[in-house]
Amino acid sequence: MTGPSVSKALLLLCAVVILLASCGARVPPSTAPVPVTVQLFWTHNAEFAGFYAAERQGYYADEGLAVALREGGTTIDYLTPISDGSAQFGHAGADELLVARAAGKPVRAVATIYRRSPSAFVALADTGITRPQDFVGKTIRVTPQSLTHFRAMMARVGIRPDQYTVVNLPSEVELFASGQADVWSVYTNNFLVALQQAGYKLNVIYPDDYSVHFYADSIFTSDDLIANNPDLVLRFLRATLKGWAYAIEHPTEIGPLVVQYAPAADAALETAKMMAALPLINTGEDQIGWMRPAVWDGMATTLHDQGVLAQPVEPTAAYTLQFLKAIYGQ
């Protein structure tokens, strides 16, 4: 190529370079991940397996999110950070969200992971305690989180509060056989697993068998985030539900996964907790995370009957199916 042809080629190349340079400002740079904080209600353990899986499997990154999982604990307020905006999402019992809503906190569930409550009551097998009626005259260890379930169950079978004694003791295996309580409230995916692994033979009594149906671990956010940034809510929930699906499909991986967040954790115990949680999450009735209005209505009625709600609350104010419907195409 010589003469005029070379000149034309050079001019064309220069024009392309100039055009690309002038368009550079209109080419969007790689978008930085959106920071998201999740306030957990307890310390790191298998109960949060879906969040860990979503992070480690890259589901949050795929949605353009950088998620920080903030631990909870006995001294941590895990509701206020969501209502005041210092965290975008939280994890709490569904009944707690109804109580918070009645107290004026603008929080709302967007999915429920434990659609069957892990709350149960256990006694040593040789005590002959097999039903709530056997609690009469006994000392019952009840955690604050299980108190409403317990009272509702006892009311269902006609047992008055003056017919038993309630105490609050820590969830310590060493205390279980100390005689300080005849019956212990447990979570079937946590303290019950620890007791069984310690070798105790137990009778297990479930409030669910006495028409006390409560949702448990729920993912929630604020009214403000739902109204002003629904796309962020959708992306976060979609990734988190994918994480829970992974955890359900790979439960034996959860123990080692928990250790990545809590190095002192017992991987075998955490895997056993995940196995115990499977029927609470994957009930076979609906998709993972799905919520039924009838269950929310029943919880609100029970809380009202037990005098737990500070003010009357419309159950639909405490949850929304908006994002689950979008994710599952309903």
Q: What is the pLDDT of residue 29?
A: 42
pLDDT digits (tens, 9 = 90+) for 132-189: 999 999 999 998 889 999 999 999 999 999 999 999 999 999 999 898 999 999 999 9
pLDDT digits (tens, 9 = 90+) for 303-312: 998 888 878 8
The second-level CATH assignment, the architecture, of 119-210 is 3-Layer(aba) Sandwich (3.40)
Q: What is the pLDDT of residue 215?
A: 96
* 22 band by pLDDT with thresholds 50, 70 and 90: very low
CATH 3.40.190.10 residue ranges of the chain are 34-116+214-328, 119-210
When the pLDDT of each residue in the chain is averaged and rounded to a whole number, the result is: 90
More confident call, 76 vs 330:
76
Superfamily of the domain at 34-116+214-328: Periplasmic binding protein-like II (3.40.190.10)
| SS3 readout for the chain | CCCHHHHHHHHHHHHHHHHHHHHHHHCCCCCCCEEEEEECCCCCCHHHHHHHHHHHCCHHHHCCEEEEEECCCCCCCCCHHHHCCCCCEEEEEHHHHHHHHHCCCCEEEEEECCCCCCEEEEEEHHHCCCCHHHHCCCEEECCHHHHHHHHHHHHHCCCCHHHCEEECCCCCHHHHCCCCCCEEEEECCCHHHHHHHCCCCEEEECHHHHCCCCCCEEEEEEHHHHHHCHHHHHHHHHHHHHHHHHHHHCHHHHHHHHHHHCCCCCHHHHHHHHHHHHHHHCCCCCCCCCCCHHHHHHHHHHHHHCCCCCCCCCHHHHECCHHHHHHHCC
pTM of the shown model: 0.86
pLDDT digits (tens, 9 = 90+) for 77-118: 999 999 999 999 999 999 999 999 999 999 999 999 999 999
Q: What is the pLDDT of residue 30?
A: 57
More confident call, 300 vs 19:
300
